Amino acid sequence: MAVTAQENAEDDLPALAELDSPTWLRHGDVLVGVGFLTVARRLPALVRQALRMAWAASPRDTLATVVLNLLGGVFTAFGLLATTGVLTALFEAGPTPGRVRAALPSLLLVGAAAVVRSAMQSGAGWAQSRLRPQVTLVGETRLYDLTSRVDLVCFDDPAFHDSLERARYRGMAMAGSVVDATIDTITSVVGLVAAAGVLGVLHPVLLPLLLLAVVPDAWAAVRAARMGYVADLRLVPARRRKWIIAELLADKETAAEVRSFTMRGFLMRMHGVVSRAEQDVLLDLARRRTVTRVVGEVLGGAGQGLVYVSLGILLAAGAVPLAVAGTAVLAIRAGQGSLSSFMFATNRLYEEGLYFTDYLDFAAQAEARIPAARTREAPAAFSRITVEDVSFSYPATETPALRGVSAHIDRGEVVALVGENGSGKTTLAKILSGLYAPDGGRVLWDDVDLREVDPETLRSRIAVIAQDHTRWPLTARHNITMGLEKGQDAVDAAARVAGADEVVAELPHGYRTLLDRRFKDGRDLSGGQWQRIAVARGFYRDSPLLICDEPTAALDARAEHALFERIRRHSDGRSVLLITHRLASVRYADRIYVLEHGLVREHGDHRELMALGGLYAELYELQAQAYRSA
């Protein structure tokens, strides 16, 4: 039997479970199975954490929000109790004008209580709206302060990186929401206590009637919300796949190949399969939520009917006056709204609190990994940098990246590190630049051990030109100066040495041009042009040590040759550490260290290493032969 195109598309689709849940849904499975009692047990700790953060953001607004909500609850209760006086006067025997006059004092109290309560609630709402952006700012500032201060090696630790991703992409965003949910929970509790307190004062038997009236509706509302959450959880993989397919159909980067390979029909079929699966889940959700709401309304109506029957019995038995029964109805209605709000707020607080806890856990972990302060400044210059028996291992890896490496760089020298991928060249360069601290051995600037030196001052003495440089969404000038202002003459000189002046000359606004097309009048550069900007960045710093890590990776042969000539000229009186795979570029280095599997296998100048006939000579001949055969 023939297989249709749609069936083929469905076969090509992997099971939805094959798509990993994103970072922002890390606790989804936990939330699906959690019960309300679990939520209740967790609430006190979450409330404490949220209020502590709110207090750090703004003690005044936090205090105002809590106190004004409490006062609002007090005046709510006062207004309900005053209503009893109004109803009592109106239900008394006698002519209507007289009853109205008798009710006026109590009526004025009810009106005054309503006005004051509204003022309190408005004030609390204003303070709460002020609090959220302040909490968000505190959360963001704390996170980015920590991420910019921890050791760089933390970013090579998978566990730390995962923790950071969870904290950054949802945990931090939950800070303001958790505070809001906490305030909403407190407000709901205050309203519920006010209603319960009024009923308790009016008659002890009335208090259980409150639960009878409000629990069914609250149950239905929370259950319907949970159904929606579970459906959203089930749809996450499908929606992610749908989004990916939509991007393939509508993105500039893929538009040409969609047409070249006639992919439109295939992608549309895949989109249709996923969309229909999503639609089926949503239609089923609509049916089940409707049934739940109907059941809740039926049970709620039955509960309210029992309330009115119970009140009728109490009235018939003379246990409560008619005015008290009327006030009780109003209190029950108020309590119904407060309990529903409480159920929603607590569920929201628990869900968002799980992600907020990820943020708190990361912050504690990061604080423990901030290096101890060091006050000694790095030397302004050096005669020799010495690497003594340095070893280093990356987190969660068994094989050391460096094993007992020793080397030295004298002032004014050009020293090269060469070797195959994974030999340890870049790791050694990062240790020399103070980005990594060695596990063993030491690095000296003359007689100063870098373990005693403030890392910030050390890095200010070193310039780095990296292969994987960052393309900052800033102006051309700021992409060179990197926040260090030494005047336009220094910018022009660095750009001229790097050949970046030719790049800037072609930009519409010169150094003021934004190098990012996402901005108005922004421009993008080619890989080679960006490389020249990165080289100018290193030259501009004008430091005693210049580290060049594959600086010519994006340059053509002519530009590469010119750059190395510039580096040699620029190194007059300064030291250059050059890391490259292109061995023709290191022929004129004063000394070459050949690394293999974290060990220094050979060292010497080009002539000595070629005479040795070892690894360097082998690699050099391989590259030279490729050029000759071409």
Q: Among the listed ranges 178-192, 318-332, 373-387, 453-467, which one has the minimum average pLDDT value?
A: 318-332
Burial class of residue 110, CB neighbours in 10 A (0-12, 13-18, 19+): buried
One-letter amino acid for residue 630 of the chain: A
Is the pLDDT at 92 greater than 70, yes or no? no
Q: Which two tokens stand for residue 64?
A: 């105002």
**Inter-residue contact 591 to 585 (CB < 8 Å):** no
Burial class of residue 429, CB neighbours in 10 A (0-12, 13-18, 19+): buried
pLDDT of residue 593: 93
pLDDT-derived band of residue 399, with 50, 70 and 90 as boundaries? confident
**Inter-residue contact 278 to 239 (CB < 8 Å):** yes
Q: Among the listed ranges 164-168, 246-250, 489-493, which one has the minimum average pLDDT value?
A: 164-168
Q: Which of 241-255, 374-388, 548-562, 593-607 has the highest mean pLDDT?
A: 593-607
**Inter-residue contact 359 to 143 (CB < 8 Å):** yes
Element (H, E) at 559: helix 557-570
Q: Find the length of the chain.
A: 630
**Mean pLDDT score, 203-221:** 73
Compute φ and ψ for 207, nearest 5 degrees: -60, -45
pTM of the model: 0.70
Is the pLDDT at 60 greater than 90, yes or no? yes
